[in-house]
Structure 1
Amino acid sequence: MPKLTTMLRFSYLLLLVFWSRASLAAPPDAVVRGLPGTDVTSIDYFNIYWAGKGGAVRPGSRVFVHFDENSYSPTLVRFPALKPSRKRGQRQPPPGQLAFKPPTLVVMPGDTVDISFNEQQYAFEFRGRHQAELDFCYKVWQSSVGLDGWFFEMNVPHSKVPLDQFLRDWSQLKRTTEALLVELQRTPGIRPEVASLLTQNLRLRIFHTLLLPAEYQLPRDPLRVLTPAYVDSVTAGSGILTVYQRRAPQDSSAGLPTALSAYAAYLCLRAGRQPITSARYAMARQTYRGIQRAWACYEILEDARFHHKDIRRLLADYQTWVAPYTEFVRALKGDPTVPMRSYRREVFTDSLDAPAGPAQPLVALLSQHKGRVVLLDIWASWCAPCLAELPASAAVAKRYQAQGLSVLYLSIDRDAKDWRRALGRLRGGPANHFRFTNPVASRLRREFEITSIPRYLVLDRTGAVRSPDAIRPSDERFAAFIEGILAQP
């Protein structure tokens, strides 16, 4: 019997390790498959750093859409084939004309989409398990609106057309977009995550389209005079940025940084300045806060770098203030980026015991510190390094409390009595101390792979995890690290 018990425990541990590793694995790829008889086409998609991926779709082939910690999820997948010209054999558009608007789909990890493409007729067919989503994306493509590439919607010289005419054209496009959004809400079979991305993307893009006159302001042309009607329209629409700008990049889409950049160009024009790269960068730095300031300025610098402009001076300035979002600097330099992750709400639902009073979920505790930077100190009564670090952690809490820092101590003690005895010996008492009700099954520990302690996690004022494995409070570098996060609104 003892041998059987030992074997069962060993089997249980193996199962637990396997399950933990499986739960921490990267999200599954999505697959785009070419149906038999399809003409060759291609797909492309981008991550939060505008790093493009894709591949050719041929009959019977499979192209994988990879999801990692820097991916949008869901993400937009575009099919950028050119519409054939009427002149036989000429596939490139004539000079001065744009390529035909490509269809764009929304896919999530694990999706499989089958496609068929007829090059001569420029006709696409999409099939998949979530057909309602594919059909809606197809309908958007067939409309005057689009999910990708705002320049396809209104193929007019925006720097020359009178603003009153532009507003009439834009108003019609806005009505079409609003009708599509109403239809989206009424369409069954669309997953909530996909519906959220479609809504966000369409609303951001219609606002971005309104800003095209500022985007198309050429340095050699006189500054455009903005009419009261146009200014009123932009002012009314700019609230959409507030709705989405607190989202983590992975929960957003490329529509957000491009809209932020375009709005900075508009503000330059409104201030009587040409929206060249340096002016737009300065305006974005002045206007936005937190990660959206870092992301908008990255978008501006990356666009300038893509067009072979010299960004060395602006990049030097960017590096002086962008911390803790230094991944953007690495991307601009071409270095490998450190993953910038966002985490689901479920990760923070562990039940916590308090020294006195009922247990509460971690998410409820965090909500009590909303708008503050939160340092989670993971420790245990039996961990000597943890106990040695507690005075430094307490000193940090006291030093930065007025600047908006909250330190929460989360114990992984399995025995509540050991934890309470340790609290009785602490100089500061039990203030802000809690214990995981079930430390072994903690979602937080599993998500962040907390296998050794002490461990420190830092959440910024928006609730986003900015450092899942922060340096210790006793480290001489900690002050600069935490002050950089506290400085972000």
Structure 2
Amino acid sequence: MNKSFKILLLSLLSASFCNLTSGIPLSKNDTARHSIDSAVILFHLPQRELIHFFYQDDYNTPSRASQYTDESGFLRIALYVSHNLTITFTNGMTMYPVLVIPGDSLTVRKTYQNDQSNYEFRSNKHVYANFLNEVERAYGFFWGSLQLSPGMNTAYYRKEVKKLNAQRLALLKQYERADTLGCNLATYLQRELKSRYIMDLCAPYHTRDFNYQEKVPREYTIELDTLMNELNCDTCVTSMRYRLAIRNYLLYLSRDSLYGNNEFSTVFRNAYSRFTGNSRDVALFITMQNYIEKDHSAVLSHLPDFDAKCKNAGYKNFIDSLALRESMLVDSTEGSNSLLTDSEGITHPFKSILSAHKGKVVLLDFWASWCAPCRAETPHMKSLVEKYSKEELAVIFISIDEKSDKWAAAIEQLGLKTAGNHYLLDAKQPLSRLVGIPPIPRYILIDQAGRIVALNAPRPSEPVLNVRIEKLLRDNAAKTAKVEQGSHLIVK
């Protein structure tokens, strides 16, 4: 699969190019026009400094790179850039977003003030290279500089978000007045800021534990309703920020169904019915991508509908590849034959561990003794185990600890010995790669027939996990009752 951006070892290009080339995501048959679809980044930094940066391609797949400068502090990297792209450099926890356009030649330097270092960006194609970096420093761009907390007053939050948006736009005006190169990117950047604004305003619907039903007043939702017109922009879909705004806005549109059994189907319906053109394709793709690990069976049931409604071939191929992950994990030779070690030192194929619990709901808990978030979930997991009988729910703890003594000690300390079955997973086993761990904790929910229903299930501390388990038990009981009733009628 061709991705929209690839790190290429190109020589310095001298092509003069200044154009907004935003458009629909690249198809698999697209080829790079390297003479213009490239950007060169030149680093002038301290010697042997490690550079980290990342960006997202048109399929929301993150691409990361790390490279050292040479003995003189110089480094040159060339990227395939088919349209305007935000690249984010990192130094510790600090983010430095920068706008790069096709044909760009970008210089990166480090400045120092009051013992604080900062990256600065300059382009010979446009004056806006450092704009997003300035916005991030002063008003937040990568992250909104104001985070909505469960106890925050919504009126205050909305007021502050509007103020930040006005300040970002005022800074853009300053750059626009200084634009003497004739490559006007102000319109594009206005849309980037609008997407950031929409993301911030939608925070009540993706902030964990925020009671949006009670705390969001009518005037707040009225304003959100007016923003729908901003999210049907055919030429905006190559912007990562725009795609994130669509994702967050879909949660707002589907707010009455959040955390319920029909959340996915509602979001899918809104993706198709409320968006048009390329933005509809993005909305459908994001919905399938975001939920395929959370509600696998529901997503698969909508796959024919997605294939019929989505017009972007690249999106459809990408989702098809994700849909195969379940069979790779459970049915493939490398997944099912991956070996796990029990507390007695005996190895077991993954398939035999699952087979032993067929007929029950199975919850896989990937963890490690050194993982603080994993340990924090322990009381909630024990409560979950106490709630259901062993005939209904089987919990399988799979640790990625390298040292078995630390693993055994943690099981004892946390009181997990009788909470479920315990196994060690070697990082070299294919199962580790197929699941995609680390990071941890990671939970996988499997139904009574042995099929994965959530490749990335909610944590035990999240009430929605109980909802999912209850539904599996309820559906299975109804199915069993129907079979028994049918058998009774036949006997009669």
CA distance in 1, matches of 2:207, 2:291: 15
Q: 1:24: how far off? A: 6.1
**Does the aligned pair in 2 maintain the 1:268–1:279 contact within 8 Å?**
yes
Q: 1:197: how far off? A: 2.2
**Does the aligned pair in 1 maintain the 2:148–2:207 contact within 8 Å?**
no
The one-letter code matched in structure 1 to 2:105 is: T
Distance 1:181 1:61, change over 3 A: closer
CA distance in 2, matches of 1:48, 1:23: 15
**Does the aligned pair in 2 maintain the 1:116–1:126 contact within 8 Å?**
yes
**Does the aligned pair in 2 maintain the 1:115–1:124 contact within 8 Å?**
yes
2:352 corresponding residue in structure 1:
none
The one-letter code matched in structure 1 to 2:57 is: N
CA distance in 1, matches of 2:172, 2:128: 13
CA distance in 1, matches of 2:68, 2:154: 45
Deviation string, structure 1 residues 217-237 (Cα, Å, up to 9, x no partner): 55x968444302212322333
CA distance in 2, matches of 1:254, 1:23: 20
The one-letter code matched in structure 1 to 2:296 is: I
Distance 1:240 1:192, change over 3 A: farther
The one-letter code matched in structure 2 to 1:211 is: C
The one-letter code matched in structure 2 to 1:263 is: Y
**Does the aligned pair in 2 maintain the 1:246–1:292 contact within 8 Å?**
yes
Deviation string, structure 1 residues 161-199 (Cα, Å, up to 9, x no partner): 221121122122122123124324322236546333212
Is the counterpart of residue 235 in structure 1 residue 225 in structure 2?
yes
2:79 corresponding residue in structure 1:
65
Over the matched positions of the two proteins, sequence identity in percent amounts to: 15
Distance 1:26 1:278, change over 3 A: farther
CA distance in 2, matches of 1:191, 1:311: 49
Distance 1:194 1:57, change over 3 A: farther
1:107 corresponding residue in structure 2:
100
1:300 corresponding residue in structure 2:
287
CA distance in 2, matches of 1:23, 1:256: 23
**Does the aligned pair in 2 maintain the 1:301–1:311 contact within 8 Å?**
no
Is the counterpart of residue 282 in structure 1 residue 269 in structure 2?
yes
Instruction: Give the alignment partner of residue 154 of structure 1, picking from 125, 146, 158.
Output: 146
**Does the aligned pair in 1 maintain the 2:41–2:107 contact within 8 Å?**
yes
> Structure 1 unaligned runs (5+)?
1-21, 84-99, 336-489
2:118 corresponding residue in structure 1:
123
Q: 1:316: how far off? A: 4.1
CA distance in 1, matches of 2:32, 2:254: 47
Q: 1:48: how far off? A: 1.3
Q: 1:260: how far off? A: 1.7
- SS of 1:238 mapped into structure 2: helix
1:78 corresponding residue in structure 2:
88
CA distance in 2, matches of 1:26, 1:114: 19
Instruction: Give the alignment partner of residue 30 of structure 1, picking from 39, 54, 65.
Output: 39
1:185 corresponding residue in structure 2:
176
- SS of 1:167 mapped into structure 2: helix
Q: 1:292: how far off? A: 1.7
Is the counterpart of residue 329 in structure 1 residue 316 in structure 2?
yes
CA distance in 1, matches of 2:296, 2:197: 29
CA distance in 2, matches of 1:24, 1:41: 27
1:47 corresponding residue in structure 2:
57
Distance 1:26 1:164, change over 3 A: same
Q: CA RMSD in A?
A: 3.1
1:142 corresponding residue in structure 2:
137
CA distance in 1, matches of 2:317, 2:32: 29
Within-5 A mapping of 1:195-234:
195-216=186-207, 218=209, 223-234=213-224
- SS of 1:142 mapped into structure 2: helix
Q: 1:201: how far off? A: 0.6
The one-letter code matched in structure 2 to 1:292 is: S
Q: Which is further off, 31-40 or 167-176?
A: 31-40
> Structure 2 unaligned runs (5+)?
1-30, 323-492
Within-5 A mapping of 1:436-447:
none
The one-letter code matched in structure 2 to 1:62 is: R
CA distance in 2, matches of 1:222, 1:255: 23
Aligned length: 281
CA distance in 2, matches of 1:134, 1:248: 19
- SS of 1:133 mapped into structure 2: coil
**Does the aligned pair in 1 maintain the 2:127–2:178 contact within 8 Å?**
yes
- SS of 1:132 mapped into structure 2: coil
1:264 corresponding residue in structure 2:
250
**Does the aligned pair in 2 maintain the 1:54–1:65 contact within 8 Å?**
no
Within-5 A mapping of 1:476-487:
none
**Does the aligned pair in 2 maintain the 1:133–1:190 contact within 8 Å?**
no
Q: 1:51: how far off? A: 2.6
